[in-house]
Structure 1
């Protein structure tokens, strides 16, 4: 009897387990999946933000580190942000600007025109291959240190410097040593320890020994502007000869034209003399 009485209970308990457990198990499984599944968290590291904000160059400055100095100046560090151009809107109180370890490929004119207090500029470890004339315009009186090391620069035009007199680091660039380099380097104060690392990868000099040696040694042994002077002299001489020949041709043409005109005039006078007799003015 007791077994029969317990049977419905067991049956009831069994039915309760069958009805409730799947729901609980489903709930626990869903909860377990939610807990263990990594949620997509949107993070924005400085390089990513720099890429997103590439279209708005002013907002990129918000990512740069700003540090105010004791004298009221400003140190702006934009290193390693994958910048492809110099950001606009930099404060004119900036005295030190670090743009190293970015993706800059060129510097257009007036890139730092408003930074008239800039004393130090670091452009190292970029991909600079060209510097337009006037890119350092406005920095002639303030800039004292310029770092262009570890880029892709092959030549340095005096027009690019625009009268700068600064300490410069030009090492680790594939320099093509020509007359422009010979004229530009004396405008810069280069540390004697780094002169040996300004190596000529190529040169205007045909001598194979001029490749792979420091620029300072190349200038000591060869005049890189000599070929330019010779070319200029040849062009000047050729131009003078051409002008001289043109002048001679013009004189010959002028004389021939005058001779032809004089002959035609003389023949006409003879014709008139033969056709029309002159009246006799002999007094009676």
Structure 2
């Protein structure tokens, strides 16, 4: 009597790696798109429009009873100001991102914006007109904890807002002095807006609060002196050129007169 030996059942440690099984595993692991949290930083890449991000898909909106909106786009690792912000926005939080500069007309459509928080970014430059459109509405601007060293008056335009400028590597120069009257610094932070470098290093300006430096010294004095020197040098060169031209003109006329006299003498000698 013969015995038929059946093969052993497959071990549970053997995994079926067929294409159909792999597809099913992927469908189980990946969540459906409509269940993903729109406020998560990982969804930013899913909602890119060219090189800009859509605020409608990544930012959180909170509507006020008066109809205004508070828009919070904090901690999303944004490298640019998102597009599609509602023109009803009155408070905008863009803090804790990776913004490195603000281009012209970054907020020109937000005519009702009252508060703008740009703290804890990597801002190192503000282009002229970056706050255009906010001159009459903006009341508070937070630029703390960035990489700003200069504050150009052209960037502020006609902006009048209380500002927090603390924790930036400021270089105190004439441009900073001209920009200060346009901003009402937060009194609690005045001593923390410190000059890390200055056009007056030999006078102990480095490490001094900006407000005290502006009050005690005229940071534009060196600029005016330089301008005066340039004007004097320019005038000297201009007068030198005029004198040189006159000397050359007189010498040329004298040479022409001498040749004319010699010519007349030669004619008289021939006639004789």
| TM-score range for the pair, normalised by the shorter chain length | 0.7 to 0.9
Task: Give the aligned partner of residue 214 of structure 1.
Answer: 209
Structure 1 residues 112-149: Cα deviation after superposition (integer angstroms, max 9, x where no partner):
11222212111011000111111111211221111101
Q: Select which of 242, 246, 255 maps to 1:251.
A: 246
How far apart are the structure 2 equivalents of 1:204 and 1:49? 46
Aligned match for 2:41, one of 29, 42, 47: 47
User: Which runs of 4 or more aligned residues in structure 1 lie more than 6 Å from their structure 2 counterparts after TM superposition?
Assistant: 27-31
CA distance in 1, matches of 2:218, 2:116: 31
Return the match for 1:115 from 102, 110, 114.
Answer: 110
Whether the 8 Å CA contact 1:74–1:93 is kept in 2: the answer is: yes
CA contact under 8 A between 2:53 and 2:81: conserved in structure 1? no
> Computing the radius of gyration over CA atoms, which structure comes out larger, 1 or 2?
1
Which residue does the alignment assign to 1:147?
142
CA–CA distance in structure 2, aligned partners of residues 169 and 121 of structure 1: 11
Corresponding pairs, count: 257
Instruction: Quote the Cα distance in structure 2 between the aligned partners of 1:240 and 1:135.
Output: 38
Gaps of 5+ in 1: 1-11, 278-284
Whole-angstrom distance in 2 between the partners of 1:62 and 1:30: 40
Q: Deviations over 1:72-122 (max 9, x none)?
A: 222211111100001122222222211111000001111111222212111
| Worse overlay, 123-132 or 221-230 | 221-230
State which of 228, 231, 234 in structure 2 corresponds to 1:236: 231
Matches within 5 A, 1:59-208: 59-207=54-202
Per the TM alignment, residue 268 of structure 1 is displaced from its structure 2 partner at its CA by: 1.8
Distance 1:74 1:143 in 2: 14
- Alignment RMSD: 2.8
Deviation of residue 166 (structure 1)? 0.7
From the superposition, tell whether residues 229 and 28 of structure 1 become closer, same or farther in structure 2 (CA, over 3 Å).
Answer: closer
Distance of 1:206 and 1:27 partners within structure 2: 76
- Cα shift at 1:54: 4.2
Classify the secondary structure of the residue corresponding to 2:137: coil
Check the 8 A contact 1:78/1:100 in 2, yes or no. yes
User: Does the Cα contact within 8 Å between 2:163 and 2:185 map onto a contact in 1?
Assistant: yes
2:179 is paired with a residue whose SS is helix
Structure 1 SS opposite 2:62: strand
Give the Cα–Cα distance (whole angstroms) in 1 for the partners of residues 143 and 75 of structure 2: 16
TM-score by length of 1: 0.81
1:27: Cα distance to partner?
6.5
Any conservation in 1 of the 2:193–2:210 contact (CA below 8 Å)? yes
Structure whose residues are more often helix by fraction: 1
